[in-house]
Amino acid sequence: MGCKTCKQKQKEKVVNDEKDTLDVNFFPKSVREGGFENGSFVFKLIAFVVIIISLPLVLTVLIIQMFLHFFLPKSLPKVTKKVRNFFKGLIYKYASFRHDREVRKRKKQFEKNSGYEEGSNLVDVVDYDESEINDVEVHENNNDVKK
């Protein structure tokens, strides 16, 4: 029993003859099969370009590491410390730049606000008289309301 869509879904399930393996689809079927209609070609092209660009960088770093390990093993801690401090300095400068930019943005945003100087709207606040406060009935227990 059941509707036609349920029966169709059961027929569409992939039956794996090998019980030990598990089929996991990391990419949609349209990307795996290719085609220009849904952007899968562009996705593949971008991935290819990113890999081609990253390979020389990775190879350069590995070659420098091998050179340092083979020919300068005693000075390796000094070199790594200098490189680490250089990158930490870059991150610190970037963070301070972002902070300063945010502060400038906030100063510009709030420069037209009135302050707490004499005669300001923020300072001239009306105080309540005691007679206005005494008109309010306060009960310790909300169930004890006078009728």
Q: What is the dihedral of CA 129, 133, 134, 137, to 10 degrees?
A: 170
31 by Cβ neighbours in 10 Å (0-12 / 13-18 / 19+) ranks as: middle
Domain identity same for 79 and 62: no
Mean pLDDT (whole number) for 41-68 = 91
124 domain residue, yes or no: no
pLDDT above 70 for 54: yes
- Percent of the chain scored above 90 by pLDDT? 29
pLDDT digits (tens, 9 = 90+) for 9-22: 555 555 555 566 67
Domain identity same for 89 and 100: yes
140 domain residue, yes or no: no
Specify the number of domains making up the chain: 2
7 domain residue, yes or no: no
pLDDT digits (tens, 9 = 90+) for 74-83: 888 898 899 8
**Residue 88 confidence class, pLDDT cut points 50, 70, 90:** very high
pLDDT above 80 for 55: yes
Residue 99 host element (H or E)? helix 76-110
Domain identity same for 95 and 82: yes
Domain membership of residue 44 as a residue range: 26-71
pLDDT digits (tens, 9 = 90+) for 120-136: 666 556 666 666 666 66
Domain identity same for 79 and 91: yes
141 domain residue, yes or no: no
What's residue 42's pLDDT?
79
19 domain residue, yes or no: no
> What pTM, to 2 d.p., does this model score?
0.40
Domain identity same for 37 and 56: yes
16 domain residue, yes or no: no
